[in-house]
Amino acid sequence: MKTPAFISVLFFFLMGSGSAQTDSTSGPAEYQSWITTYNSPRIKSGIIYEIRDSSISIMTSRPNYMGYPVKPEISTINSDLIDVIKLRKQGAVGTGILVGALSGLVVGGVIDLVYYSFWKNQGEKQTNDFGVALGDAIERSPEYFAAVACTIGIACIGTGIGIGAAVGSVKISIPIHGCREQFSRNKAMLMGYSINHPR
């Protein structure tokens, strides 16, 4: 069938051009970090600001009571207090949900087209339990087939959203366990996630 192939090609073209436009107009990607420490507070979150020989600085900006952003705060954590550093690209969950929903929509549409075409072509040859030709059944009860098509589409979109959210929520985990040598081994990689480091 030409229609499903056209829809698939169009979808991948739109997704590719959209991502290319985003990459060309936006700056370096920022990564949200979650640093589990051995002191209080147990987990510190923010954007990695700077990596030093034996410490990491993160930047946090919380809205004030009026909802407006306040001046970013920079806090420094010594490597011997760090247990695990987890990183995730900002907006990854939302992007995953959007891509999953669009993918589910395309897959559901393709399945619906195949489903409808198959039963329409085979309707003249096969009969259902009531002795009514399936082709006639399509013409007589379009609501039934519309309901099936909607159910397939919703199921595919829901599945796509779930998969997209799961994939987007995956975090990069870097174990330090309070070891300065371990921190030093990962220093070069961590610098790649710092906003205060040229990429």
Count of structural domains within the chain: 2
Report yes or no on 197 lying in a domain.
no
98: alpha, beta or left? (left if phi > 0; alpha if psi -120 to 50): alpha
* Side-chain half-sphere exposure of 132, counting CA atoms within 13 A: 9
CB atoms inside a 10 Å sphere around CB 156: 22
Same domain for 7 and 97: yes
Q: Are residues 35 and 120 part of one domain?
A: no
Structural domain containing residue 49? 29-89+171-191
Residue 199 lies in a domain: no
Going residue by residue through the chain (199 aa), what tens digit of pLDDT does each one get? 444 444 444 444 445 444 443 343 344 568 899 999 998 788 988 899 889 989 999 988 665 556 565 677 888 999 999 999 999 998 999 999 999 999 999 999 898 888 777 766 655 555 554 455 555 555 556 677 778 888 888 999 999 999 999 999 999 999 999 999 999 999 989 988 988 765 4
Q: Tell me the pairing of strands 73-78 and 172-175.
A: unpaired
Neighbours of 15 (CB within 10 A): 15
- Do 164 and 98 fall within a single domain? yes
- Amino acid code (one letter) for 186: N
138 and 72 fall within a common domain = no
